[in-house]
Amino acid sequence: MAKILVTGATGQIGAELTLALREHYGADNVIAAGHRREPPGGLAQTGPYCSLDVRDAAALNAVVTAHGITVIYHLAALLSAVAEEQPLQAWDINMNGLLNVLECARQHGCQVFFPSSIAAFGPGTPPFNTPQDTVQRPSTIYGITKVTGELLCDYYYRRYGVDARGVRYPGLISNQVLPGGGTTDYAVDIFYAAVRQRHYDCFLRADTQLDMMYMPDAIAAAMQLMQADASRLMHRNGFNATAMSFTPSQLAAAIQQHLPDFTIAYAIDPLRQAIADSWPRHMDDSAARAEWGWQPRYDLSAMVGDMLRHITAKLRNE
């Protein structure tokens, strides 16, 4: 049975991935690690948790040794908008943390999952049907760390045989965990505003088209890739994976199908708009579909209906 460590377990992906892994592999076999001393309720109640700074190689090694870890889902990172405000800290956390994880995996024979991002592309990348293998010249420190991370994971596989795999995630939409400073955060914030005020001021332009994915699909993608037959993987890190592509105005229209009195206005954040404009509009994820059977469950309509049901119930119970 796999013994799994999830770094960044208190973050947007980590919190939900940890619970899904515990359901699949057993609670005691999944160790959640985060920067907080005390975990959120769901993590504390369902299995073991430890406070961990991934930049501390000795502390990371001690956790892996103590728990006999065989698989590391490495999610600890600063996200795009926050990283632009703190570029040196973003490099320190995103890159030194990953290097420590890969080195620990080399020493202990661990498998590694590293989430890359649509941010790994840049203004010179073909924006529509962005190929799996194409120009990657990102204009943000977050994107630079993701490209570097993909290359570093590939290096550790070729040089040391570390079974490192990863997905280039688009914007992620969750009904459980609030966003943590990403450029696509509007696609979560809008649901809370719609239910509470029936109005939302969006920080991106109405026509800003970006790839998106609902969190249940994001969790499934990570677990499915890690379980895939290695002999089928022509690529290993940075698989394009997406589920839907839409603009803020299209998302608002989908919400209005359920809440006809919902309105949207636009108060553009220049930093996040510039970041969004440097990303592709839609990725070609045919490599993921062919090599490990990627297939999303949620399109825009299904995601909006499910989000509104969950957010309405959550706010009713506050």
Residue 219 has pLDDT above 90, yes or no: yes
Q: Are 167 and 115 in contact (CB under 8 A)?
A: yes
* The pLDDT of residue 12: 86
Report the distance separating Cα 2 and Cα 4, nearest Å.
6
Instruction: Clarify whether residues 124 and 10 are in a common domain.
Output: yes
Tell me how many domains the chain contains: 2
Give φ, ψ of 207 to 5 degrees.
-100, 15
Residue 1 has pLDDT above 90, yes or no: no
142 is catalytic: yes
Provide the residue type at 227 as one letter: Q
Domain that holds residue 204: 172-212+244-282+299-316
Residue 287 included in any domain: no
Instruction: Clarify whether residues 232 and 202 are in a common domain.
Output: no
* Structure tokens that stand for 65 in this block: 């040794």
Taking residues 204-221, report their average pLDDT: 98
Residue 148 included in any domain: yes
pLDDT level of residue 81 (50, 70, 90 thresholds): confident
Residue 44 has pLDDT above 80, yes or no: no
The DSSP code for 109 is T
* Structure tokens that stand for 66 in this block: 């103590």
Residue 181 has pLDDT above 90, yes or no: no
Give φ, ψ of 168 to 5 degrees.
-85, 100
Instruction: Clarify whether residues 225 and 163 are in a common domain.
Output: yes
Of 168, 177, 259, 257, the residue nearest 216 (C-alpha)? 177
* The pLDDT of residue 202: 97
Instruction: Clarify whether residues 192 and 54 are in a common domain.
Output: no
Q: Tell me whether strands 128-130 and 199-202 are parallel, antiparallel or unpaired.
A: unpaired
Q: Whole-prediction pTM value?
A: 0.95
Instruction: Clarify whether residues 74 and 141 are in a common domain.
Output: yes
Residue 318 has pLDDT above 80, yes or no: no
3-class DSSP state of 141: helix
Instruction: Clarify whether residues 14 and 148 are in a common domain.
Output: yes
Task: State the catalytic residue, choosing from 49, 142, 156, 214.
Answer: 142
Q: Are 134 and 126 in contact (CB under 8 A)?
A: yes
